[in-house]
Structure 1
Amino acid sequence: MAGMRKKLGAVVIGLATMSLTLTACGGGGSDSSGGGGGSDGDAIDTSTATGEVNYWLWDSNQLPAYQKCADAFHTANPNVTVKISQFAWDDYWNKLTNGFVAGDAPDVFTDHLSKFGEFANQDQLVDLDPTLAKDGINVNQYQPGLADLWKSQDGKRYGLPKDFDTIGLFYNKKYVDDAGIKESDLANLAWNPQDGGTYEKVIAHLTMDTSGRRGDEPGFDKSKVKVYGLGLDGNSGGPNGQTQWSMYTGSTSPAWTATDKNPWGTHYNFDQPQFQTTITWFKSLIDKGYMPSVAAVTGQTESTIFGAGKYAMVTNGSWSTNALFDTKGIETGLAPTPIGPSGKRSSMYNGLADSIWIGSKNKPAAAKWVEYLASPDCQNIVGDAAIVFPAIPSATDKAIAAWKAKGIDVTPFTNQVTDKTTFLFPITDHASEIYNLMLPALDNVLSGKADVSSLTEVNNQINQLFQ
């Protein structure tokens, strides 16, 4: 999950435009069965699997583990070879959607919850349920709720879970110690949109200007900040704010949710007071000099800035654990997200899956590979690598143990699941259009170019998409 592992913190390619293109060209090969079944309602005959499977992913950190899976899969299935290609986040989606149009997309690819709905609507994905039923695959073997996220509005399943993630608070241990803050105190921070609570107090005290004055001390110069108490991850977060602000809006009182229901909501709630007051507080951290501006972080990765010693704390996903802990010269700690006005902490709960392209010319081998990726055999390999939390609970336990062996306690992530303080990544139609509306609007708010009330009109524009 390195960098852009799961969040939509990068420029989203024009899926709406692509949709029109695909309609004009017949769906980029959607009428191709690829042999062995795979059309609507048909099971793929995986017993005939042979040949090469092209598989794409975007996280370079995960590539070695999945290559081990591919090698083990080939050993068990000598007639099938898996060729893995890895591309950076932006290139990945651009190449994939262009591949749909050109008819040369990969047989199998790592899919994202924000994308699969549009891909399914464009008839680019294979319905897996008939094949899974035929092969006796247990879709209930994953962490609760993960498998159902990959079912479309018409009930078809377009992906099998591979992992999940939650959000935590990473911190520079030296900065925390130098500030006289106990690490144990970080586990019990609380925030509110009025004065930021103990959370903002810690952020302010960890902030330091070039003269050595802290953010809560007289004379602090917010125009000459040496260390920000809290980092900002890439941009404003658009409509999801997964690593930027979702842990705050998810713990408001009354509880705020992005949509009227999830998944497949048809009404967004960016006009509600809980959201707008939270964003107003979030922006105040920038105004006070405790957090960098959107302009200052655009084009940079949070882990790089943290590694340069410019952030005391960052909110980020479990996929960034190794990147933030392996930073040379910095001893990193991990704490849970702060407790909100609801009395609970909160984290977005997201997960990836593997999908089969409808235009694959080798569906039997593709389906067999997808079933293997979602099996304990592969997910245990991934768990032992300590890079993400696999979707199967026993493999999740392996990941926890592997991180513990490295001296990293990842329970601030996993406790969010066991304590039931998570909420699902919002899944709706029009995801790319919503992102393209909300990202610049929220960037403008955080940059002081627009008032937070301007998000009400943007919310109206978003909801009109569902009319």
Structure 2
Amino acid sequence: MSAFIRRSAAVVAGTTVFGIALAGCVGGGSSGTGDAASIDTSKATGTVEYWLWDNNQKAAYQQCADDFHAANPDVTVNITQYSWDDYWTKITNGFVSGTGPDVFTDHLSKYADFINNNQLVALDDVVAKDGIDLSQYTDGLADLWVGQDGKRYGLPKDWDTIAIFYNQDLVSAGGYSAEQLADLQWNPEDGGTYEEAIAHLTVDANGVRGDEPGFDKTRVAVYGLGLDNQSGGGIGQTQWSMYSGSTGWEYMDENPWGTKYNYDDERFQSTIGWMADLIEKGYMPSVAEVTGGDSTQTFGAGKYAMITNGSWNINSFFGLSGVDVGIAPTPMGPDGKRASMFNGLADSIWAGSKNKDAAAAWVEYLGSADCQNVIGAAGVVFPAIPSGAEAAAAAFQSRGIDVTPFTQQVADETTFLSPISDNAAKIAGIMTPAVDAVMEGKADPSSLTSANEQVNALFGQ
């Protein structure tokens, strides 16, 4: 089932932060994994290996590790950070080889497969034994980390949404104001005023704009809209989900734990077809151009007027040298609303950890207000505990960064969940090349129906 959002006012230094309620759906079926009954956090000693993928957050988490060590001198936390792509490869290889981390940052699209492969420790006994208050988290986030077997596999750490980062100089040169960007409309047929803006903000090597006669799509100097590193495959969090989500389309028959995907739906296929048209017209780079690249740095080099991306990258964009960055909300869609994927991360314990006592103690600290307030004050992400999110909002505001386009999605109840189901890796293996082919003009959007049949066959559909 879809997420729903409930506003609860919490104002800090003039910035409003919104509490979130999600309609979680917990079923039964899959078998649980690591035994937590024998874990005793009061006996925690030794070193905990902790992995994360976001370099922007590493310093703040190091502060949490230092504070944790000061309070628990018999435990040391060693933090290792890898890039997103390397991270999951190393996690998988580490689990297989027996060299995985004790604790790691987990993702909603990944943890179902980890559960099914007996790679996670269920935390229910630890939570009950140590009296962890799950109501301290923003409404609904804790429920997302309960598997189909009814067991808990993570404690929430943060949440995120999607918005548009734009180059203020390029946008102003194109005659657009911040107010105009905030009022753009989109549809998959002709792209609406959103595509009009994308076309006008595209400029070729001769200075001709995308909507002017003589535009040379083979020699583009500035794309009106950037593409974030790849096509997005079957999830498209930062690439296309904000568009498909505004058509009323949903990934599955229910979310979490659906068993029938909807990639055969015309609303999804027309969205991907529209993306392909942007590439064909020269308004957006091709998948081949961006694969393996760094979209933030490309934006920083003045190659993109706009790009859709997540709240976790606010500091990356605003840290770019020589670029005046703004943030705009995603466009209004055919249903008259904006849309954004709502994602929440958690920390999980690897079932192969040799130091589960200390690992559990560290997970509890990561999930506490003591740590999450530190993360919030660093102004990097929005922590799962409201006080941490309030601290983050205040930190961004103090640096002159208006994060309203990210919190607006929450306030307006326009978010939806990342798909949470079994077979995530296999689905990615099917949908990534299928979506790539459409965006590269090598296949018709209708070909996604065949890909959808392969996906649903994984669930016996």
Which of 109, 116, 121 aligns to 2:111? It is 116
2: CA distance between counterparts of 1:276 and 1:43?
A: 50
Superposition map of 1:155-166 within 5 A:
155-166=150-161
Structure 1 partner of 2:325:
332
Give the length in aligned residue pairs: 429
> Does the 8 Å CA contact 1:166/1:349 hold for their aligned counterparts?
yes
TM-score of the two chains, using structure 2 as the length reference: 0.91
Of residues 17, 32, 39, the one that matches 2:35 is 39
The residue type paired with residue 301 of structure 1 is D
What are structure 1's unaligned runs of at least 5 residues?
1-26, 31-37
Q: Which amino acid aligns with 1:373?
A: L
Residues 48-71 of structure 1, C-alpha deviation per residue, up to 9 Å, x if partnerless? 112211111111111110000000
Which residue does 1:430 correspond to in 2?
Answer: 423
Post-superposition shift, 1:92?
1.9
Task: Deviation per CA, 1:64-94: give whole Å up to 9, x if none.
Answer: 1000000000111111111111122232222
1:306-455 matches, within 5 Å, as: 306-455=299-448
Give the secondary structure class of the aligned counterpart of 2:409.
helix
* Kept in 2: contact 1:165–1:318 (CA 8 A): yes
d(CA) in 2 for partners of 1:336 and 1:144? Answer: 24
Match of 2:201 in 1: 206
Q: Distance in 1 between matches of 2:102 and 2:271?
A: 43
Amino acid at match of 2:313: S
Deviation at 1:457, TM superposition (A): 0.4
Greater fraction of residues in strand: 2
Whether the aligned pair in 1 keeps the contact of 2:56 and 2:316 (CA below 8 Å) is no
Counterpart CA distance in 2 for 1:103 and 1:308 is 42
Instruction: Please say if residues 251 and 341 of structure 1, whose CA atoms lie closer than 8 Å, have aligned partners that are also in contact.
Output: yes
Match of residue 48 from structure 2: 53
1:88 paired residue number: 83
1:322, distance to aligned residue in structure 2 (A): 1.0
More divergent stretch after superposition (295-304 vs 42-51): 42-51
Say whether the 8 Å CA contact 2:235–2:241 is kept in structure 1.
yes
Counterpart CA distance in 2 for 1:450 and 1:104 is 41
Give per-residue Cα distances to partners, 1:409-433, cap 9 Å, x unaligned. 1111012112211000101110000
The answer (yes or no) to whether the contact 1:55–1:106 under 8 Å persists in 2 is: yes
Q: Distance in 2 between matches of 1:340 and 1:175?
A: 24
Question: In the alignment, is residue 132 of structure 1 matched against residue 127 of structure 2?
Answer: yes
**Percent of aligned positions that are identical:** 64
Alignment pair present for 1:303 and 2:296: yes
C-alpha separation in 1, matches of 2:90 and 2:205: 44
Show the counterpart of 2:282: 289
SS of equivalent residue, structure 2 residue 135: coil
Alpha-carbon offset, residue 43 of structure 1: 5.7
Q: Are the aligned partners of 1:318 and 1:388 in contact in 2 as well (CA < 8 Å)?
A: yes
Contact residue 43 and residue 134 of structure 1 kept, 8 A: no
**Matched position secondary structure for 1:460:** helix
Give, in whole Å, the separation in 2 of the partners of 1:107 and 1:278.
41
Q: Is the 8 A contact 1:247 1:337 kept in 2?
A: yes
Gaps of 5+ in 2: 1-31
Letter aligned with residue 284 of structure 1? D
CA contact (8 A) 1:172 1:312 kept: yes
- State which of 136, 146, 159 in structure 1 corresponds to 2:141: 146
Counterpart of 1:462 (choices 446, 455, 460) is 455
Cα offsets for 1:392-416 (capped at 9, x unmatched): 1110011111011111011110121
Query: 1:23 is matched with which residue?
Result: none
Partner amino acid, structure 1, of 2:230? N
User: 1:258, 1:270 within 8 Å by CA — same for their partners in 2?
Assistant: yes
1:137 and 1:81 map into 2 onto residues whose CA distance is: 22
CA positional deviation for 1:39: 1.2
Distance in 2, Cα, partners of 1:224 & 1:50:
60
Counterpart of 2:264, as a letter, is D
Give 3-state SS (helix, strand or coil) of 2:59's partner: helix
Q: What is the rounded CA distance, in whole Å, between the counterparts of 1:101 and 1:291 in structure 2?
A: 39
How does the TM-score come out when normalised to structure 1?
A: 0.90
The Cα of 1:140 is off from its aligned counterpart by: 2.0
- Determine the C-alpha separation between the residues in 2 that align with 1:51 and 1:278: 51
1:146 Cα deviation from its structure 2 partner: 1.4
Q: What is the RMSD computed on CA atoms of the aligned residues?
A: 1.3
Tell me, what secondary structure is at the counterpart of 1:453?
helix
Runs (4+) off by over 6 Å: none
